[in-house]
Amino acid sequence: MEFFNKKEEVLNVELTEYGEYLLAIGKLNPTYYAFFDDDVQYDTSGSGYTETQNDIANRIQYETPKLKILRSRSGAETRVETYLNKVSSSVGTLTQNSTTDSYTEIFRAQQSFTDNGKMAAHPIGTSMLTTPYNASWQLEVLSLPQILTASRNYQPEPDGPLENIPQLDITVDYQMCFRTGDMSQTSITPYLGDSNIYLSLKEDYLMIELIENNTVFEKENFEIEVYHSASGENGIGVFTQKQFIQTDQGADFATSTDSDVEYFMNVLVDGDIPQEVLEQLNISDTVVNTNASRIRLNRNLYVTDNEEPC
């Protein structure tokens, strides 16, 4: 562990072990960069003393020590175990028709030296130059789900630190009931016995509007990731990322497995949202298909019509 000499050193660049591996095989292609300020204390009010604005700027720029890069923050045993787990998980996705090259590529492609520590874990976001405010999230629920709980923070481990990741617990209810008469598209069973009674399912959906305020509105603003949550040892949550099916051009259907998002749910955004859903929520299809700044969609969640289950 070493600190910068601010009188002589400005920038320090080092490759991680995985970066050195990619460089060795000729596949290192740096594309993005990010800035971090985990080691900067902007507000000292919670530390038992106060200071003037001029003192704050001087302290941060000249009196705050800066650590040099730590290439690795985990032991060799931990990294080997992580590597083997990733290989085992990836091999499980192969089929009987997979070639030897497919297995070889799995071993070569795994980032065996990844480090997701608490230091430099959250890059600084980008705000618009025309606003004095930081980037912030605005989320509105436009359909009629049941919001059970909400929290501003997330705690990955029972005794671990809180992370500033908002949490929403929302239930989407699929209702079942008995119907009589002719079969409909909602039927999920044949006629029961000799009667004309069958079981019907009323599907539901969650419609949300998510906007990042005080940032540049671009054509593509978000990346969506879906995880399956389960309880691990000592109450620690285990999250398994699911993958979206990437169908070949021209393919209309692909079989999903429990490693795919589509096996559990359909995630539709903007122009993919069905027209009947937009009509039910009184949303113009031109709003969700535009590349201009998004018009906010508002709906009073506390004034709803009485609805029959089926």
pLDDT at 57: 85
In the predicted structure, residue 283 carries a pLDDT above the cut 70: yes
Q: Which of 18, 225, 248, 238 is nearest to 114 (CA)?
A: 18
Lowest mean pLDDT across 64-78, 84-98, 246-260, 293-307: 293-307
Residue 181, Ramachandran bin (φ over 0: left; ψ between -120 and 50: alpha; else beta): left
Q: For the ranges 111-115, 156-160, 199-203, 303-307, which has the lowest average pLDDT?
A: 303-307
Q: What does pLDDT average to over the chain?
A: 77
**pLDDT at 253 (0 to 100):** 59
How would residue 25 be classed by pLDDT, with cut points 50, 70 and 90?
Answer: confident
Label residue 185 left, alpha or beta by phi (over 0 means left) and psi (-120 to 50 means alpha): alpha
Residues in the chain, total: 310
Residue 294 has pLDDT above 60, yes or no: no
Task: For residue range 43-101, list pLDDT tens digits in order.
Answer: 887 788 888 888 888 888 888 888 887 776 667 777 777 777 777 777 766 766 677 77
Handedness of CA 270, 276, 280, 285 (dihedral sign): positive
With both helix axes pointing from N to C terminus, report the angle between 100-109 and 76-91 in degrees, rounded to the nearest 10. 150
Q: Are 147 and 140 in contact (CB under 8 A)?
A: no
pLDDT at 305: 47
For 127-178, what is each residue's pLDDT tens digit? Answer: 788 888 877 888 888 888 877 888 888 877 766 677 778 888 888 888 888 9
Query: Taking Cα atoms as reference points, which of 39, 51, 35 lies closest to residue 4?
Result: 39
Task: Give the burial class of 232: count Cβ atoms within 10 A of its Cβ; 0-12 exposed, 13-18 middle, 19 or more buried.
Answer: exposed
Residue range 110-136: average pLDDT? Answer: 69
The pLDDT score that the predictor gives to residue 302 is: 40
Q: What share of the chain is helix, strand, coil (3-state, %, to 5)?
A: 20, 15, 60
Instruction: Give 303's pLDDT tier (boundaries 50, 70, 90).
Output: very low
Cα distance between residue 24 and residue 66, in whole Å: 30
Report yes or no: 264 and 228 within 8 Å, Cβ to Cβ: yes
Any long-range contacts for 278-281 (C-beta under 8 Å, 24+ apart)? 281/142, 281/143, 281/207
- Tell me the two tokens of residue 265: 């749910």
